[in-house]
Amino acid sequence: MSTDEQDTAQRSFEETVPLVVEDFTVVKEQVTTGTVRVRTVVHEDQQEIDEPLRVKEVEVVRVPVDRLVDGPVADRQDGDTLIISVHREIAVVQRKFQVFEEVHIKTQWREERHREVVRTQRTEAVIERDDHKDL
């Protein structure tokens, strides 16, 4: 190795390299860039409904009865028929109750379709943004 090369090698170890350290701080600030307006719009639609309905029907049948009894006869159930005895008091040598009529009330259920056009409403939110370009 020549003397110049030794001097250069020695200088390279002795050279000072300046180092710079940068530091920074982040600051956030809230800036209004625009406004938002929300409004609702109601839309009205018509929809057809088709639902089964249970309908209770009552049939009343008056049945003539001519029967003497010792006292009032309580109402009774015969299957799906409620039987109500109608009483009157009659004068005889001795007093007795006579059932002169029974009211038979029969309950039946039937199902029928019910169709109807009904008016429905739905609400829609409309959002509009108003940007401020000069801020």
pLDDT of 6 strictly over 80: no
Side-by-side strand order, sheet with 81-90: 34-69, 96-131, 81-90, 76-78
Alpha-helix residue ranges (DSSP H) falling in the chain? 3-14
**Which residue range(s) make up the domain with 93?**
3-131
Q: What would the pLDDT profile of 27-54 be if each residue is shown by its tens digit? A: 888 888 888 888 898 899 999 999 999 9
pLDDT of 4 strictly over 70: no
Q: What would the pLDDT profile of 75-132 be if each residue is shown by its tens digit? A: 999 999 999 999 988 877 777 889 999 999 899 889 899 899 889 888 888 888 877 6
Structural domains of the chain, count:
1
- How confident is the model at residue 52, as a pLDDT? 92
CA 34 from chain center: how many Å?
Answer: 37
